[in-house]
């Protein structure tokens, strides 16, 4: 037993002794005079860094070049967790040559030639530390902790691009996803001025397009589950009038009861799970300006447009304890996020949705 343990320790120490070192830092400058530092600008910021070693007249580099822009775009075109850089291996390729090559192939990530410091980087990776350098193009994926994945490749050009994509994903980098949100009142008026909450954190107060939608791009972990909801807490007395009080009074007296779930939720001003004279008092105080906010409810509530209440005549428990106000989704299945907005206290839907 002790002999086996000793062998295991020796193997572990041997493994540790030959473990590959982290990527060395470097500083390079492109044709525009912009300077890039591997660690300060990228790895220390939590970014995954991809190097394409190439040269401008390399036939395989030119052949694979059309496959690169879609890959770069799929990872956010440098705006998210991943950045690409093309580094020429030839001392005769200048920064201008590298920039011209990038432009000719529609690549918009930085490119470095010999006069930008490329050779020092190339010599580091030609040293054999992370494996033999077998020609161009060679792709290197560097994790934020400096771990190097050298010569990432696959079968054919598409296979190599797929392998690089998988290597990036394995670093934990998040991909960009398009989010589209639309909110309307029960009478189909477009609502503006709300905040979009992703996992309860605001991603911005909306500016809508001409179709009334809020569109943005967010970076998400492909293996995580997210929630999206809306919030609008402005002008609590918007749309409130004596007509709402009269309508709520009739409901309480069973003269003319409210039956639509959105109206029932709007009339439950204090969020108690029912409608009572306390809700009328709260509404009256808001109308008179005695109160300007509600301490137990929001100005607006939002329900998923596709949500069907199991008991529409009694929606309170579902709404307050369930998730009709949230979309729960994974990045591989992002819906259009459509909501119905309910102005609290406004049972006749007269509020200005702007």
CATH says 20-170 is which class?
Answer: alpha beta
pLDDT 10s digits, 316-341: 999 999 899 999 999 989 998 999 99
Q: Model confidence over 265-284: pLDDT tens digits?
A: 999 999 999 999 999 999 99
> Mean pLDDT across the chain, nearest whole number?
91
Strands 226-231 and 327-329: what pairing? Answer: antiparallel
Whether the Cβ atoms of residue 92 and residue 125 lie closer than 8 Å to each other: no
Residues of the chain with CATH 3.40.30.10: 20-170
User: Per residue in 216-269, pLDDT tens?
Assistant: 889 999 889 999 999 998 898 998 999 989 999 999 999 988 889 999 999 999
Cα–Cα dist 259/108, whole Å: 57
CB 140 within 8 A of CB 128: no
Can you tell me whether residue 70 is helix, strand or coil?
helix
Q: How confident is the model at residue 209 (pLDDT cuts 50, 70, 90)?
A: low
């Amino acid at each position: 037993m002790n002999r086996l343990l000793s062998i295991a320790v020796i193997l572990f120490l041997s493994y540790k002794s030959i473990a590959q070192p982290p990527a060395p830092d470097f500083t390079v400058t492109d044709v525009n005079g912009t300077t890039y530092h591997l660690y300060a600008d990228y790895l220390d910021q939590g970014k995954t860094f991809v190097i394409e070693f190439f040269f401008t007249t390399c036939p395989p580099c030119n052949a694979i070049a059309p496959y690169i822009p879609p890959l770069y775009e799929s990872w956010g075109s440098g705006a998210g967790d991943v950045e690409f850089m093309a580094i020429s291996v030839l001392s005769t390729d200048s920064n201008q040559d590298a920039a011209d090559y990038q432009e000719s192939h529609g690549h918009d990530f930085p490119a470095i030639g010999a006069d930008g410091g490329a050779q020092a980087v190339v010599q580091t990776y030609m040293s054999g530390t992370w494996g033999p350098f077998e020609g161009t193009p060679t792709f290197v994926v560097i994790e934020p902790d400096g771990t190097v994945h050298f010569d990432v490749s696959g079968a054919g050009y598409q296979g190599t691009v797929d392998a690089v994509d998988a290597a990036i994903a394995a670093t934990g980098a998040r991909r960009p996803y398009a989010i589209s949100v639309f909110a309307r009142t029960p009478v189909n008026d477009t609502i503006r001025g709300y905040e979009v909450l992703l996992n309860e954190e605001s991603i911005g107060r909306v500016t809508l397009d001409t179709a009334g939608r809020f569109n943005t791009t967010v970076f998400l972990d492909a293996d995580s589950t997210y929630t999206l909801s809306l919030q609008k807490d402005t002008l609590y007395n918007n749309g409130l009038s004596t007509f709402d009080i009269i309508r709520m009074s009739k409901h309480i007296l069973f003269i003319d009861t409210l039956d639509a779930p959105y109206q029932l939720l709007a009339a439950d001003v204090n969020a108690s799970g029912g409608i009572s004279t306390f809700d009328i008092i709260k509404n009256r105080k808001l109308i008179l300006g005695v109160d300007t906010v509600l301490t137990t409810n929001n100005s607006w509530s939002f329900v998923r447009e596709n949500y069907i209440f199991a008991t529409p005549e009694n929606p309170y428990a579902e709404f307050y304890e369930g998730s009709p106000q949230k979309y729960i989704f994974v990045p591989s299945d992002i819906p259009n996020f459509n909501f119905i907005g309910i102005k609290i206290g406004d049972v006749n839907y007269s509020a200005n949705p702007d």
